[in-house]
Structures are given as C-alpha cells and as structure tokens.
Amino acid sequence: MRGFISLHGFLMTAITSSFTLSAMIAPDAAEAADGFGSFSLQSSKSYSYQRAAAPDGAKAERFELRSGDCSSSMGDCQTDRERVEKWENKPASRQDHEYWYHFSVFIPNDWPASGSVNTKLGQFHQFGQGKGAVLFEIQNGRYIFELSNPAVRQASPMHPLAPLKQIGLTSANAMKGHWTSITVNANWSRTPAGFIDVWVNGAKKVALKGPNVDRDTPVYFKYGVYRSLKAAGKGEAPLIAWYSGIRRGSTRESVDGAR
C-alpha cells in the first residue's frame, strides 16, 4: 500500500485521542511493512524521515529528531516531549491471538549520553486513551524493556504511572555502530493467558506471563525516535536512528532475520 493512506486509517485517527491529522505529514509517507497494515508518520519537518542507507550501507528508514521537534496540537511542546515516529493504522494486532514481531534498530557511534532523559526506540500501544503497553527505551545508558501495569488505567499518556516491569536488554554503548535485532512473541490479553517474550540479537531477555494490556482495544506498533521528560527545545543534541526488518507474522520463521 505504498503511497496510500486509507479512509479507514483517517477514521481511526479521528477516534484515537493520542493523534491528530495535523501531526501527520503527506500521505506518501504511509507504507505497509511486512505482515503489518499501513503506517502513518508523525512529523512535520523535511529532515525527519527518509529512506536512506544506514552507515553500514544497508537499506533502512532514517529518523532524525532535533531539539524542539514537538507537536503543539498533541500537547508535546507543553509537556516536554519530542518525536518523529511511524505508527500502525488498523488493522492492528487483536487481543487473545499469538503474534511474532521483529525490528532492527541502528544508532550511530556519536549517539549522545542522555542520563535520565527517556528515549523510546520502539513501542506497542493500544488504540484509545491511555499508556503504552510495552516500551523499548534508552535511559541512563541502558536499553530497557518496560511493561506497563495492566491493572491500572490512566487518564493521560502524558502522566505515566509506574510500570509493572523494567528489564535491561543491553547497553546503549553496545548498540552504537551496530544493528540491534529485536524479536517479540506476544499474546496481548487482559487474562492470565497473556504472555510476552523478547529476544535481543538472538538471546532471550524477557519471558513474562499474565495480563499485559489494560483495555479492550487492538495493539499497534510504533517506531522511530521519541524523547520525553526533558525541556523541549532547550538545546538537546539531535538523535538519528535507522530501522529495518519491520515484520509481523504468525511464526518466528516468518519474521526473524538479521535485519
């Protein structure tokens, strides 16, 4: 579905309070990844997104976030958030169905230290108001997996509640100048049948069972660069990340790979 955003995708954004049409760029930025539906890009800058080779020459999607890249219509500029991300339109992942996912992310050698600033590189969210179910983020020099507490609802995603789990995956230094391959196997569910397992570069890092979502809506994937809990526009260094191998399927064999 290259170069096409469906009417259905626009209807979903109208009912999803986290996004507005003003936060999306032109329709030719939407594209389906393997096994997913179409994606829309949250950005308004010409440099924010390109299809460009990664430093190792591999074909990839390049995201660049500069200080002050925030959307006032989404409340980012008022709440110390900045982002350039692609988010999956419906059809998204249904609850109580098993899925496999894969994405690879590459950060450059000059990726800056960020301290307590929270930089998300990959997220699983639910449609409707509330917090993300699973976040992959760099904080204090570590790339971590975060599972939100499915037993507690929150009124605003800009005021996150304490997570249920945080698990270290690798260090930010180990990611620099290399592809980091993430494979996820999940059954999104509000019941004890839910589970989520995560492999990083082929090594299993996460194995959790039990409820993992907090409401009865589909789960969608986001990727790019999202920087939060900072003074937006206050001179933070630009962040550049490349992604490839964005896949969803019913088996590990259908999604896994070096990229």
The tens digit of pLDDT for each residue in 33-74 reads 688 988 999 876 889 999 999 999 999 999 999 887 876 556
Is residue 76 very low, low, confident or very high in pLDDT (cuts 50, 70, 90)? low
Residue 24, beta-bridge partner list:
42
Tell me the pTM.
Answer: 0.83
pLDDT of 77 above 60: yes
What strands lie across the sheet with 203-209, from one edge to the other? Answer: 49-51, 61-65, 239-249, 98-106, 179-187, 195-200, 203-209
Q: Average per-residue pLDDT in the chain?
A: 82
Residue 225: the pLDDT is 94
Enumerate domains of the chain plus CATH numbers: 39-257 (2.60.120.200)
The tens digit of pLDDT for each residue in 175-203 reads 999 999 999 999 999 999 999 999 999 99
Single-letter residue type at 38: S
What is the C-alpha separation between 211 and 119, in angstroms, rounded? 25
